[in-house]
């Protein structure tokens, strides 16, 4: 028997039609984004995030206090090692992803942008993506963020996440 290898070029859905003699099978194929984050519009703690047409986040406002901001919680799509990077950033805001257990409690460790790859702890079922003010006295912000969480220990070019309609908040 031979093997067939398919490499996706861009996210989306299609199908593959296979024929062997008189037998034909159609197999659905979905190519997902390398960006594992899920986010969408959010408002709270003095900050507002909207989603730009390219899938990046536009953040405005001034956080209510240091280490306050916006959060999105979503199911953990992978196990293993992940890396977080933000090729575009807004000075005074920090991005991170925290690991949560089945009860929503934070597990040890987090992955921060610009940091090293981190192993997802055993028992992780959800991730919490956070955009927080790192300023002791938060100042007004108005800019775009392109943040990417991906499997492995190598950061690649930013791409839009598959889910940019997840409601966020505080």
Better pLDDT: 29 or 153: 153
In 53-140, which ranges are E strands? 57-61, 69-75, 81-88, 93-100, 106-112, 118-119, 126-133
pTM for this structure?
Answer: 0.86
Residue 154 contacts residue 81 (beta carbons within 8 Å): no
**pLDDT tens digits along 15-66:** 888 888 999 998 888 777 899 999 999 999 999 999 999 999 999 999 999 9
Token readout for 66 is 């240091």
Within 8 A by CB and 6+ apart from 62, the residues are 46, 47, 133, 138, 139, 140, 141
| DSSP-H helix ranges across 28-169 | none
Q: How many helices (H) and strands (E) does the chain have?
A: 0, 12
88-120, pLDDT tens digit by residue? 999 999 999 999 999 999 999 888 988 789 999
| 34 token code pair | 């390398």
Q: What is the rounded average pLDDT of the residues 127-150?
A: 97
Per-residue pLDDT band at 1 (split at 50, 70, 90) = low
Query: Over the range 12-26, which residues count as b (16 or more CB within 10 Å of their CB) and which as e?
Result: eeeeeeeeeeeeeee
């Amino acid at each position: 028997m031979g093997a067939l290898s398919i490499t996706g070029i861009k996210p989306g859905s299609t199908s593959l039609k296979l024929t062997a003699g008189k037998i034909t099978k159609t197999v659905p194929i979905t190519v997902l984004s390398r960006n594992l984050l899920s986010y969408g519009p959010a408002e709270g703690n003095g900050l507002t995030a909207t989603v730009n047409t390219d899938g990046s986040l536009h953040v405005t406002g001034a956080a209510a206090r240091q280490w306050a901001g916006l959060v999105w919680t979503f199911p953990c799509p992978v196990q293993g090692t992940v890396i977080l990077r933000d090729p575009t950033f807004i000075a005074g805001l920090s991005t991170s992803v925290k690991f949560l257990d089945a009860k929503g409690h934070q597990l040890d460790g987090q992955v921060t942008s610009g940091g090293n790859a981190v192993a997802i702890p055993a028992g992780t079922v959800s991730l919490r993506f956070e955009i927080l003010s790192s300023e002791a006295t938060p100042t007004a912000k108005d800019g775009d963020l392109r943040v990417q969480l991906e499997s492995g220990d190598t950061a690649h070019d930013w791409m839009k996440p598959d889910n940019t309609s997840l409601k966020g908040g505080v």
